[in-house]
A = this chain, B = another copy of it.
Amino acid sequence: MPEQTTGPRPTLEAVAARVGVSRATASRVVNGGAGVRPPLVEKVRRAVDELGYVPNHAARTLVTRRNGAVAVIIAEPEFRIFSDPFFEQQVRGISRELTAHDAQLVLLWVEGPGDHDRIARYLGGGHVDGALAFSLHNDDALPAVIDRTRIPVVYGGRPAPGTSPAVPFVDCDNRGGAREAVRHLVDLGRRNIAHISGPDDQTSALDRLHGYRDVLVDADPTLLSRGDFTEESGARAMAELLDRRPDVDAVFVANDLMASGALLTLRERGVRVPEDVAVVGFDDMASVVRRTSPSLTTVHQDIEDMGRLMVKLLMRLLDGTGPVPPASVITPTSLVLRDSA
């Protein structure tokens, strides 16, 4: 129980004085106690407890040039990115890993280009050791802004090809996962396998499309339809597909939400799943997968783990450990078989 419950917070000086050692020794104990004799360590530790000493963060940062904080940059274009379950999981992973590294999460919410200046100033001002950002749209100017601050950064999701070459990122194996999904449909004996893709300004959507094409090299363009990752767009894309190609017998959908929409359309039209049309999604998003009927076969990715990996990568960057330019991480995906395919 700290005895000094009021007044100014005790300093390291106070701790040292109480024990009768120098500030340097007290500092050593507070920072792990290496090179200090055990009995002294014990005495200092006790003094710390008794006084309720907590290191002054600003003073420490001033000399170490490290402040134990990482910015998470959340750009909100038109959507409610924050309440997206995908995001929630990723941020949870980030938060947990950051805690494990004794680092703090500073949330930087970017609402538009008007905020870029503020963000640049903040990142450049040394408030944080590094930053985590997410690649959302290929035409976003934000990556360039972040890059200019020369602060270490790790992206969630592969950035657009145009951006600076050595930006480390963490992404799941979108292309490989897509391949596996499509191959599964091929193995099922399906002949006319369609694809509902996501917006073409997002690398994840593009990569999944590429995966589809890897397997079905000369797929007919009429088997392709585009959505925008929303449920409604999936329903619409499925309807178009059905109109254009009534002989379609399978569809690989670029995410679960659109797959859910596609399933709705199929049911409406009296098409049986998986008997008439097999459906495979992507993401394995619990909230969606659970409530579709039939339950959705989909490509699983461990989103929380991707968040953790982002932090690990950043920490390695900050430590100076790890390769330069830093390597990115592609996490594996796995096909989860349920009833829809």
Contacts and interface: CB of A to CB of B under 8 A. Distances in A.
Interface stretch (A77-85, A161-169, A268-276): A77-85
Interface in A87-125: 87-88, 91-92, 95-96, 99, 104-109, 111, 115, 118, 121-122, 124-125
Given A57-B126, A105-B108, 16 more contacts: A54-B121, A54-B124, A57-B61, A58-B58, A58-B62, A58-B67, A59-B62, A83-B87, A92-B109, A95-B107, A96-B109, A99-B109, A99-B118, A104-B127, A105-B106, A105-B107
Which label, helix, strand, loop or mixed, suits the secondary structure of the A interface?
mixed
A161 to B, nearest CB: 26
Contacts of A104: 106, 122, 127
Contacts of A108: 105
A216 interface: no
Given A104-B122, A105-B106, A88 B83 contact: yes
A238 B58 CA distance: 56
* Copies of this chain assembled into the complex: 2
A82 B287 CA distance: 14
A56 interface: yes
A69 interface: yes
Interface in A220-250: none
A107 B106 contact: yes
Interface string A301-318: 000000000000000000
A94 to B, nearest CB: 9
A55 interface: yes
Interface of A: 9, 52, 54-59, 61-62, 67, 69, 72, 80, 82-85, 87-88, 91-92, 95-96, 99, 104-109, 111, 115, 118, 121-122, 124-127
A106 B69 contact: yes
B95 A105 contact: no
B109 A105 contact: yes
A80 B69 contact: no
Top 8 closest A-B pairs, CB basis?
Answer: A58-B61, A58-B62, A54-B125, A83-B88, A95-B109, A82-B88, A83-B83, A58-B58
Contacts of A84: 83
Contacts of A61: 57-58
Contact of A126 (B54, B87, B125): B54
29 contacts: A52-B124, A54-B125, A54-B126, A56-B62, A56-B126, A57-B58, A57-B67, A57-B126, A57-B127, A58-B58, A58-B126, A72-B107, A80-B85, A80-B88, A82-B88, A82-B91, A82-B92, A83-B85, A83-B87, A95-B107, A95-B109, A96-B109, A99-B109, A99-B115, A104-B106, A104-B122, A104-B127, A105-B106, A105-B107
A52 B124 CA distance: 10
Contacts of A57: 58, 61, 67, 125-127
Contacts of A62: 56, 58-59, 62
A118 B69 CA distance: 15
Please indicate which of the listed interface residues A58, A61, A69, A84 has the most CB atoms of chain B within 10 Å of its own CB.
Answer: A58
A304 to B, nearest CB: 12
A147 B54 CA distance: 17
Contacts of A67: 57-58
